[in-house]
Chains A and B, each alone.
Chain A
Amino acid sequence: MPSMGATGSRRGIVPLVEQHYQSLYRYAYRLSGAAADAEDLTQEAFCKAQAQLTTLRDPERSRPWLFAILRNAYLHRARSDRAHKQVSLEMVGDLPAQPSAEMLDVDPEQLQGALNDLPEGFRTPVILFYFEDMSYRDIAEQMNLPIGTVMSRLARAKSHLRERLVLVADRPSGSGGEVTRGL
């Protein structure tokens, strides 16, 4: 419900939309993997933010606050849609494999495919890590997890991305000298 106080007035939500809608949409897109879902999630997040505006005590923290609202909205949806296929990270190592010497740019669509395969608990930290440039501590706070858990999940998620996005030099490749996949 909108508050009519100084921070809760219409002026309160407008600057937040103006300032954060793009990054929130991108975050939603990377979480959900679909433009329509991303827009719905962004809309839902701003509507919820408008209703809970009085709970935002520190305006400087509005960005992580909005991200947390959006993630909760996403999790709520994801719980009601458990058919999403995800890979197991049991066999994925924490440490990077032997790298290739050079890389081309990462294809955003292929990146999204790799993200979609990750369980949410691994996808969120890796998105926040790259997308928001968040520190481990910020991610831990955002996800309400111990920092060690975040570091471990992040390492495994990055290994998964590496495996999906990079063909290491010593792997057999169908085209001889090609060393990358999707790069």
Chain B
Amino acid sequence: MDCNTARMLAAFFGRQGSELAPEDAAELNAHVAGCPTCAAALRFERVFDDRVGKAMLAVPVPTDLKARLFDGVAAARGAWYRQKFYTVAGLAATILIAIGGVIAYQIEKAPELNLSAIVAAEDEDAENPATPINRTLSPYGIRYSPERSFDLRQLVTPGEKPFPGQSRKVPFFLLMNVPKNAQATVYVVRDTDFNWKSLPLDGSSALSKYGFQLAVVADKHRADVVYIVVFTGAGLELFLENGSSA
């Protein structure tokens, strides 16, 4: 090993001991042992590193630095939480405003109720009791026209409900004969909804254990529609207009 190589390796001598490869370190040591100039250079390198290392660490640290650092990280943490709070609050406010907007839009678009129109509709129902029944039957494509006229002064309410023992809903209306303490549920059934062909038509009835009877009334105009009446009391006539016997 020549002096130039030795000086270069000396420059790369780490402070943690040699970072040279073992064979390079061995060659360097062998050269230094026989070369006073390079030995001095290596000594200088080590002393220089040692002195500079000490000077490098000689930085006075302010006595209250730690307290200021803690204050700083606490403030940063507080700022982060505040920012997160404002973000969440802003998001919540945006959602509330959006919901409010949707509600306001729905209110704005909701149909307006008119007092005189409501009263007029009630008047119409009173004048023609079949009107509310027709409103219920209309979605089924049926118009109220039984062969035997029910006494619609007894009408309580029209609606839809499953046919007894079935899951499919059909339109119906309820009649109450208060003086006779009797009631009738009238189901309006198309033959496409249920096959009622086997039921007895025209007032025939079947008495149940608790006095319920069943009668089937045909429609005036349509052969595919019948009025199936489940009722209590003395007979179907309790729910028919006077003289309405076909």
Contact indicator A95/B7 (Cβ below 8 Å):
yes
Q: Which residues of A contact B176 (CB under 8 A)?
A: none
The listed residue (A25, A46, A51, A131) touching B80 by CB distance below 8 A is: A51
- B residues less than 8 Å from A183 (CB atoms): 51
Partner of B55, one of A1, A105, A129: A105
A26-B16 contact, Cβ under 8 Å, with A43-B69, A95-B8, A96-B10: no
Q: Which A residue's beta carbon lies closest to that of B43?
A: A99
Q: Which of B70-78, B133-141, B207-215 contacts A (4 or more CB under 8 A)?
A: B70-78
**Mask: chain B, 1-41; 1 = CB below 8 Å from A; 0 = not:** 00010011011101110010000000000000000000011
* B55 touching A107, Cβ below 8 Å: yes
> How many contacting A-B pairs (Cβ < 8 A)?
121
B219 at the A/B interface (Cβ < 8 Å)? no
Establish whether residues B65 and A51, one from each chain, have CB atoms under 8 Å apart when the complex forms: no
- Asked whether A42 lies within 8 Å of B62 as measured between CB atoms, the reply is no
**Would you call B57 an interface residue if the criterion is a C-beta within 8 Å of the partner chain's C-beta atoms?**
yes
- How many chain A residues touch B (CB < 8 A): the figure is 51
Query: Chain B: interface secondary structure?
Result: helix
Given A21-B69, A162-B48, A166-B48, the answer on whether A29 and B59 have CB atoms closer than 8 Å is: yes
Known contacts A18-B66, A155-B12: does B56 contact A130 (CB below 8 Å)? yes
> Is A86 an interface residue, CB under 8 A from the partner?
no
Cβ-defined contact, A133 with B16, below 8 A: yes
Tell me the dominant secondary structure on chain A's binding face: helix
Chain A residues lying within 8 Å of B47, measured Cβ to Cβ, are 103
Q: Which of B15, B57, B66, B70 contacts A129 (CB 8 A)?
A: B15
Number of interface residues of B (CB under 8 A): 40
> Contact: B52 with A111, CB < 8 Å?
yes
Contact residues in A for B14 (Cβ distance below 8 Å): 129, 135-136
Contact B80 A42 (CB under 8 A): no
Q: In whole angstroms, how far apart are the Cα atoms of A130 and B14 in the complex?
A: 10
Write out the residue numbers on chain B whose beta carbons fall within 8 Å of the beta carbon of A108.
55-56, 58-59
Q: Does B53 contact A (CB under 8 A)?
A: yes
Type the 1/0 row for B123-146, where 1 means its CB is closer than 8 Å to any CB of A: 000000000000000000000000
Closest Cβ of chain B to A95, distance in Å, is 5
Q: Chain A residues with Cβ under 8 A from B41's Cβ?
A: 96, 98-99
Neighbouring B residues of A161 by C-beta, 8 Å:
52
Q: Which residues of B contact A14 (CB under 8 A)?
A: 70
Whether B161 sits at the interface, judged by CB under 8 Å, is no
Known contacts A43-B68, A103-B47; decide if A26 and B54 are in contact (CB<8 Å): no
Q: What's the Cα separation between A99 and B65 when bound, in Å? A: 40
* A25–B59 CB distance below 8 A: yes
* Cβ of B84 under 8 Å from chain A: yes
| Known A106-B54, A133-B16; contact A95-B65, beta-carbon cutoff 8 A | no
Which residues 74-110 in A have Cβ within 8 Å of B in the complex? 94-96, 98-101, 103, 105-108
- Does B44 sit within 8 A of A, measured CB to CB? yes
Question: Which chain B residues border A35 with CB–CB below 8 Å?
Answer: 62
Complex contacts, B151 vs chain A, CB 8 Å: none
User: Within B152-166, which residues are at the interface with A (CB < 8 Å)?
Assistant: none
Q: Is A96 in contact with B11, judged by CB distance below 8 angstroms?
A: yes
Smallest CB-CB separation from B44: which chain A residue? A99
Q: Are B15 and A130 in contact (CB under 8 A)?
A: yes
> Is B45 at the interface (CB under 8 A from chain A)?
yes
User: From A101, which residue of chain B is reached at the shortest CB distance?
Assistant: B40
| Interface presence of A158 (CB below 8 A) | yes
Apart from A2-B77, A2-B80, A21-B69, what 5 extra A-B contacts exist at CB < 8 Å? A17-B66, A43-B68, A46-B69, A46-B73, A106-B51
11 of the cross-chain contacts (CB-CB < 8 Å) are A13-B73, A21-B69, A46-B69, A46-B72, A47-B73, A47-B76, A96-B10, A99-B44, A103-B44, A111-B55, A127-B56
